[in-house]
């Protein structure tokens, strides 16, 4: 037997035994947690993530080390809050906890096919809340019927936002910049906070970022025309050919999650994807006819059925937008409550100030307490980051198709939310879908700033697509 075969066999058996050991460890933690104390599971989780993070740091994998550190930060906040009760828990978080715990309890009793409506018959059984329960129930199986279990589940999904930021960023810039952007996102105050309460915001953000990543990948042009380059009809007929099947599956998952979690986001996703397909087929004659055929039905359906997406019975009109916005304007965090939309011109004129409030609220003059001040820090930091996005966007001039996707997603999403939002608390939650894109552009801009070298070469290096695996390995070693 050759040396290579021996090494391969050894590696295979090592992975097999490590997998068995991991399964045994998880089963052991579940057993001891439920028999003795859930703290055993928390301690085991802390040690496991810490060792994983240290190992990745020693191996030079800064990305995974940062993600591990980000999860440990969330874990520490959750554990401290469970003892001190500093963070307020929204009613919906308590509701999600109860349903997820009921589902996990049914699984532990072997009731795998019993629907959640029977396991928790006295609680709301909307599809959104059911999906949230299924996504968090595995953490209750691991740690028991303890609210900390669900919060650690949300923390896991919130940490993955950092990884999604990284893979989106690698489509348009270097690996170094991507790690920088991912690190900023995983420790961003508003994202950290939304990652320690059991809500749907981080799940929506994950689905939107996955959609952006796939859209960026779709911009790669088709190579279909060797057979009949002059045959326009053949080209248009095969308009979507050779799309990666894995991307199609992930896109379907993302769309389902958005439909369940926040259906109005499908309009932003649809516009972004149509632009991506347009750019993918930028050499196809009459492509804009096809694009119009796709885009107009999407926008038309959304406009005529606006109430079905946001709740209500109205179409997309100034009066409908005004009614929806003011229906959400309640509580102590309301802003710009005196503004009313009487025409499309009002919507256009008010848009700039609404965008400012949506992205950066609470503004300094609206702060009325320490909690409000802490919430404002994230918005003010985002204002500073946004100041760099113009430079970062300009530096992508050699990647016009990538720049178009980023611009379509950010502008359409931020503008749409800004128009209908008049509540600083809701804005604080919903803007985390766009924070990663802003920080990616800021990372590109900051990476090119040097007091010693302001050459064009330095800027080009800052926006070149991610390096090859060989160069990455060499750099890390």
Q: Which of 210, 215, 176 is nearest to 62 (CA)?
A: 176
Residue 288: per-residue pLDDT: 64
Residue 197: per-residue pLDDT: 87
SS3 427: helix
SS3 423: strand
Tokens of 329: 């304007």
Place of tokens 């309640």: 330
Produce one character per residue of 226-238: b if its CB has 16 or more CB atoms within 10 Å, e if not: eeeeeeeeebeee
Place of tokens 């959750």: 78
pTM, rounded to two decimals: 0.82
- Interatomic CA distance for residues 68 and 48, integer angstroms: 10
Residue 455: per-residue pLDDT: 44
User: What backbone phi and psi angles, to 5 degrees, belong to 423?
Assistant: -130, 120
Beta strands of 129-232 (E only): which ranges? Answer: none
Torsion angle in degrees (nearest 10) through CA of 335, 336, 342, 345 = -110
- Interatomic CA distance for residues 223 and 175, integer angstroms: 27
User: What backbone phi and psi angles, to 5 degrees, belong to 255?
Assistant: -65, -40
Torsion sign, CA atoms 359, 360, 361, 366: negative
Tokens of 77: 């906040």
The secondary element (H helix, E strand) that includes residue 34 is: helix 3-35
- Start-to-end CA distance of the chain, whole Å, equals 31
Residue 66 near residue 179 (C-beta atoms within 8 A): yes
Tokens of 55: 């190992």
Which residues, at least 6 apart from 225, have a Cβ–Cβ distance to it below 8 Å? 235, 283
Radius of gyration of the CA atoms of the chain, in A = 24
Residue 224: per-residue pLDDT: 41
Tokens of 324: 């929806």
Residue 100: per-residue pLDDT: 86
CA 96 to chain CA mean position, Å: 20
- Interatomic CA distance for residues 145 and 154, integer angstroms: 15
Q: Which of 159, 268, 253 is nearest to 210 (CA)?
A: 253
Per-residue pLDDT of the chain (477 residues; tens, 9 = 90+): 455 555 555 555 556 665 666 666 666 666 667 666 778 888 888 888 898 899 889 988 899 999 999 999 999 999 898 888 777 777 788 888 888 888 888 887 777 777 777 777 666 667 888 888 889 988 888 888 888 888 999 999 999 999 999 999 999 888 999 999 999 999 998 899 889 888 889 999 999 999 999 999 888 765 444 443 444 444 444 444 566 778 888 889 999 999 888 888 888 898 898 888 877 766 666 666 666 666 677 677 666 666 666 665 566 777 777 777 777 766 667 787 788 888 888 888 888 988 998 888 877 777 776 666 767 788 888 999 999 998 888 888 777 888 889 999 999 999 988 888 888 778 888 899 999 999 999 999 988 654 344 444 445 555 666 543 333 333 443
Tokens of 374: 């802490």
Produce one character per residue of 357-383: b if its CB has 16 or more CB atoms within 10 Å, e if not: bbbbbbeeeeeeeeebeebbebbebbe
Residue 212 near residue 165 (C-beta atoms within 8 A): no
Tokens of 274: 């149509």
SS3 334: strand
Half-sphere exposure of 218 (CA within 13 A, CB side): 28
Residue 285: per-residue pLDDT: 60
Inter-helix orientation angle 400-420/435-447, to 10° = 140
Half-sphere exposure of 300 (CA within 13 A, CB side): 6
CA 201 to chain CA mean position, Å: 9
CA angle 86, 92, 95 (to 5 degrees): 100
Q: Which residues pair with 181 in a beta bridge?
A: none
Residue 476: per-residue pLDDT: 41
- Interatomic CA distance for residues 126 and 253, integer angstroms: 19
Residue 341: per-residue pLDDT: 84
- Interatomic CA distance for residues 240 and 447, integer angstroms: 36
Which residues, at least 6 apart from 52, have a Cβ–Cβ distance to it below 8 Å? 64, 68
Give start and end residues of each alpha helix (H) in 281-423: 287-304, 306-310, 318-328, 344-360, 370-394, 400-420
């Amino acid at each position: 037997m050759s040396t290579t075969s021996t090494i391969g066999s050894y590696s295979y058996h090592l992975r097999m035994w490590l997998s068995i050991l991991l399964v045994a460890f998880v089963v052991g933690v579940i057993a001891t947690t439920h028999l003795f104390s859930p703290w055993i599971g928390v301690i085991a989780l802390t040690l496991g993530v810490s060792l994983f993070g240290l190992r990745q740091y020693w191996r030079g994998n800064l990305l995974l080390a940062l993600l591990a550190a980000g999860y440990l930060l969330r874990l520490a906040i959750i554990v401290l809050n469970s003892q001190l009760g500093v963070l307020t828990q929204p009613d919906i978080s308590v509701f999600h906890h109860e349903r997820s715990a009921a589902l996990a309890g049914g699984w532990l009793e072997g009731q795998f096919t019993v629907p959640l409506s029977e396991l928790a018959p006295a609680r709301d059984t909307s599809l959104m809340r059911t999906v949230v329960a299924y996504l968090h129930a595995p953490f209750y199986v691991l740690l028991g019927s303890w609210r900390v279990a669900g919060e650690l589940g949300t923390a896991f999904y919130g940490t993955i936002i950092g990884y999604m930021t990284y893979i989106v960023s690698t489509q348009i810039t270097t690996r170094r910049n991507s790690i920088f952007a991912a690190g900023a996102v995983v420790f961003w105050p508003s994202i950290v906070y939304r990652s320690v309460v059991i809500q749907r915001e981080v799940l929506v953000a994950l689905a939107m970022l996955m959609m952006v990543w796939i859209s960026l990948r779709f911009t790669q042009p088709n190579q279909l025309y060797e057979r009949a380059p002059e045959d326009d009809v053949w080209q248009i007929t095969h308009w979507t050919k050779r799309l990666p099947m894995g991307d199609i599956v992930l896109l379907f998952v993302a769309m389902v999650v958005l439909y369940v979690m926040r259906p109005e986001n499908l309009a932003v996703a649809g516009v972004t994807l149509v632009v991506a397909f347009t750019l993918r087929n930028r050499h196809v004659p009459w492509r804009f006819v096809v694009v119009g055929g796709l885009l107009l039905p999407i926008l038309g359906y959304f406009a005529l059925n606006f109430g079905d997406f946001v709740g209500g019975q109205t179409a997309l009109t100034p009066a409908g937008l005004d009614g929806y916005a003011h229906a959400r304007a309640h509580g102590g965090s309301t802003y710009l409550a005196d503004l009313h939309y009487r025409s499309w011109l009002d919507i256009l004129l008010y848009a700039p100030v609404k965008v400012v409030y949506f992205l950066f609220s609470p503004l300094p003059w609206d702060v009325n307490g320490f909690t409000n001040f802490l919430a404002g820090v994230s918005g003010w930091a985002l204002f500073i980051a946004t100041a760099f996005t113009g430079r970062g966007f300009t530096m992508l001039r050699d990647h016009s198709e990538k720049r178009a996707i980023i611009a379509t997603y950010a502008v359409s999403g931020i503008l749409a939310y800004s128009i209908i939002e008049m509540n600083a608390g809701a804005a604080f939650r919903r803007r985390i879908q766009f924070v990663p894109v802003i920080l990616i552009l800021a990372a590109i801009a900051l990476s090119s700033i040097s007091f010693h070298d302001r050459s064009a070469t330095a800027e080009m290096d800052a926006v070149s697509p991610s390096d090859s695996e060989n160069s990455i390995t060499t750099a890390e070693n």
